[in-house]
Amino acid sequence: MTGRNTADIPASTIERLPQYLRCLLELQSMGVPLVKSDRLAGLCGSNAAQVRKDFSYLGELGTRGIGYEVSALIEHISELLGVKERRRVAIVGYGKLGSALHGYAGFPERGFEVVALFDVDPAKVGCTFDGIRVFHVDEAPRVVNELGIDIAIIATPARVAQLAADAVVEGGVKAILNLAPTRLVVPEEVDVRQVCLSTDLQILSFRIAQQEGSR
Amino acid sequence: MTGRNTADIPASTIERLPQYLRCLLELQSMGVPLVKSDRLAGLCGSNAAQVRKDFSYLGELGTRGIGYEVSALIEHISELLGVKERRRVAIVGYGKLGSALHGYAGFPERGFEVVALFDVDPAKVGCTFDGIRVFHVDEAPRVVNELGIDIAIIATPARVAQLAADAVVEGGVKAILNLAPTRLVVPEEVDVRQVCLSTDLQILSFRIAQQEGSR
């Protein structure tokens, strides 16, 4: 770390860091050692000024006229995002959505390791899928604690999502990614991100309606 | 409509409308005829001033001291979001994720009807699931057009997502919800929303790292 306080980094910059990291990893895999802000901006769908501004919060990383060192940037952003060491993740609700997420290649690539699955279906509890065991949700307080799980992804039906959240919070998760279409109530220190695909569709629908109206 | 120009509504207000709509539908299902801004704010995790400000863009909808009429608000927001008439949706990529989305109860509730599925797997093409047929992606330009599909949800592997997008764009979709972890290139008039769960996890991870650092 540069010694800068990460609390000074604007939320909008943080929201863009994962995208920068993805593009930088792509460049690294192509053997590119240095990248200028305009090229990186092109890859990320941003602009060069934005890239330079965002990176200015990360410390002295670039050299004028030469660009940024790809590997140094990857190192730095990974450290900031807390994904240098792998984060242990649990998936709660192992239906179609939960199992689709378990197979999602993006997670291990980005530093997330699924280490436990939870469900209530007796046909699944005790089974292993791709080497990962399904526990009963009632065991979540113990298992989350023992395996040091930081993040739970909730992929249950909406009506049981709060129970699932309560169980993993009791086990000590620090954050929840909620895919169930319902609002969760959790202690203040637990961070929740809500993924709501219906909301995304409605926002798209609004924009279509706007376009239709303007014709 | 009130005759106000929807282009004047701030993007941040639009992002909150689906959430208001969800809460209002819950209130309606409980038989609640009127709601005050503070109660609605509590349900939506917002504050009363924000609710009043957002609704001020929608016209004269509330009465001071009495509140908002739930059914009128639902009608109004649904119309704004373009979901009064059902929007026709296709799912492209019918693997685990695609089939999980097909079964997602939130879509029909919110005014979205899945009318076609696309895949390239010969074992799936020609089959019907819950009454909806799987077409080969090559047929997308024709099928999207004939069925009047407005929105495509892309749930393919990243490496074929662009091909999938090209096919549905050729058929005339107006918007794409992209769940494949890759950036799509589409004509300007097509609206794309990117859902990236790895990014959500990384943002959560950043906040955990911040908390750990501050201890």
Distance CA B153, CA B99 (A): 11
Question: Looking at the complex, does the CB of residue A99 fall below 8 Å from at least one CB of chain B?
Answer: yes
pTM above 0.90, yes or no: no
Taking contacts as CB-CB distances below 8 angstroms, the residues of chain B near A12 are none
CATH number of the domain at B35, please.
1.10.10.10
Instruction: Check whether residue B66 and residue B104 sit in a common domain.
Output: no
What local confidence, expressed as pLDDT, does residue A4 receive? 53
| Sheet strands side by side (includes A67-69) | A34-35, A67-69, A62-63
According to the model, what pLDDT value does residue B152 have? 96
Average pLDDT, chain B: 86
Residue B142, chain A, CB below 8 Å: the answer is no
Q: Are residues B91 and B192 in the same domain?
A: yes
CA distance B64 to chain A (A): 28
Asked whether residue B76 is assigned to any structural domain, the reply reads: yes
Locate all alpha helices (DSSP H) within A30-139, ordered by sequence: 37-44, 48-56, 70-80, 96-102, 106-109
Which of 4-63 (B) contact A at CB < 8 A? 6-7, 14-15, 17-19, 21-22, 45
Query: Of A199, A211, A212, A214, which to mutate for an interface test with B (greatest number of B Cβ within 10 Å)?
Result: A199
Q: Do B202 and A81 touch (CB under 8 A)?
A: yes
> Rounded CA gap, A83 and A105, in Å?
16
- The model's confidence at residue A167, banded by pLDDT at 50, 70 and 90, is very high
Whether residues B196 and A112 touch (CB distance < 8 A) is answered with: no
pLDDT digits 0-9 by tens, A58-110:
877 777 778 888 888 988 888 888 777 788 999 999 988 898 888 876 788 77
Residue A131 pLDDT exceeds 60: yes
Please give the average per-residue pLDDT across B49-77, as a whole number: 85
What domain range includes position B171? 87-196
- Residue in chain B closest to A212 (alpha carbons) equals B82
In a domain? residue A195: yes
Checking if the pLDDT of B170 tops 80, the result is yes
Q: Which of A167, A162, A153, A166 is nearest to A95 (CA)?
A: A153
Tokens of B65: 């001291």
> Closest Cα partner for B55 from B83, B14, B98?
B14
Which of A54, A80, A106 finishes a domain? Answer: A80
For residue A21, what pLDDT is reported?
A: 87
Instruction: Note whether A19 and A103 are same-domain residues.
Output: no
Taking CB atoms and an 8 Å cutoff, what residues of chain B touch A153?
197, 201
Q: Rounded to an integer, what distance in angstroms lies between the CA atom of residue A94 and that of residue A125?
A: 10
d(CA A134, CA A149): 14
ipTM above 0.85, yes or no: no
* Chain B residue numbers touching A82 (CB-CB < 8 A): 205-206, 208-210, 212
Say what the alpha-carbon torsion angle A68, B200, B193, B84 is, to the nearest 10 degrees.
Answer: -160
Does residue B13 sit in the same domain as residue B60?
A: yes
Taking an 8 Å cut-off on Cβ atoms, the answer to whether B7 and A210 are in contact is yes
Chain A CB contacts of B208 below 8 Å = 82, 87, 150-151, 174-175, 191
Q: A97 and A192 in one domain? A: yes
Q: Is residue A135 part of a domain?
A: yes
Nearest chain A residue (CA) to B103: A96
Residue A172 domain-assigned (yes or no): yes
Q: Is A205 inside any structural domain?
A: no
CB neighbour burial string for B97-135, b if at least 16 within 10 angstroms, e if fewer: bbbbbbebebbeebbbebbbbbbbeeebbeeebeebebb
Structural domain total, chain B: 2
Q: Are strands A151-154 and A132-136 parallel, antiparallel or unpaired?
A: unpaired
Do residues A91 and A102 lie in contact, with contact meaning Cβ atoms separated by under 8 Å? yes
In a domain, A154, yes or no: yes
Q: How far apart are CA B37 and CA B154, in angstroms?
A: 37
How far is residue B195's CA from residue B179's CA, in Å, rounded to a whole number? 5
Domain of A179: which CATH number? 3.40.50.720
Q: What is the pLDDT of residue A128?
A: 92
- Please tell me whether residues A76 and A110 are part of one structural domain: no
pLDDT band, residue B5 (cuts 50/70/90) = low
Q: Is B95 in the same domain as B165?
A: yes
